[in-house]
Structure 1
Amino acid sequence: MAVILVTGMSGTGKSTALDGLARRGYRVVDTDVGGWMREIPFPDGGGVETLWREELIDALIAEHERSGEPLFIAGTVRNQVAFHSRFDEIVLLSAPLEVTLERIATRAANPFGKSAEERARIVADTAGVEPLLRASATVEIDTRRPVTETVDRLAALAGRR
């Protein structure tokens, strides 16, 4: 069974899609939660970058490669590229910037994107990072469609439970 990366910019519906997959019985890991990340200071001292803890991601993928159980991993970090060869699919969830900004403004579960500084970062990252994600994706799903359609498409990539 498949190991699938679900990636995309903030507000594209990664967490919502994973919730839907989990309700269907799939194993899902949102790497934004639960210690999967580490912060590395930028060399210039101007902040930090959040990256996957590669040893944890490696062990997670190895477990599912042995088990044959499908696994969905969600995240958007620079070092995810180190694992691209181990994913059966790399799925980019996308939506127009105005849609993602509206979702971010109205969501209650995640505070990221509420400040003007964070919203500016989202705009900049969408322009600079999303094209890189698109170039490495094997599938792109426009999340303006109903959530059930997004979840159906992701589940189809993993095969039947």
Structure 2
Amino acid sequence: MSINIFSACLFTTKAFENIMKYDCTDASITIFDAEYTIDINMLSEIIINYPTDFIIVLNNRNHSPIMIAKRIIILSKHTSVNIIKKIIYSICFFREIKSKTISLSPHEKVFFDYWLGGETINFIAEHMSITPKTANNIKIIFIKNMEQKIYSHFY
């Protein structure tokens, strides 16, 4: 298995190196630590320059695993080690994760971009021209949809 880890955090790098010691196949995985915001240019460069079977994007938000494409998943740094291991072993042994990708409405996409960027509900509401209560409801509905489609698969 080959692994490319792009993280400024030494703890994150060492943790994934330790998980990856268990060589299971020739799958290649790229770990991209987005910290508080996703640098789309850097992520695009990694996708182009580092051919990989799967990309795991880490962020600091506390949320369920989000599958945004067939080979890209967003994981919270708050995700338990057991869940992370299950995801990685699924990639290693099956070269895929059997799950549904989430389809977002244009309104949800805007919210999701701000939310992954670490913005507060009040900031998101102000920039989307909605009330904070509406923004919070979008978040709650979004998280419920994620949990129904993806999170239960890993337990």
Structure 1 and Structure 2 fold alike (TM over 0.5): no
Which is richer in strand? 1
With normalisation by structure 1, the TM-score equals 0.35
Q: TM-score, normalised by structure 2?
A: 0.36
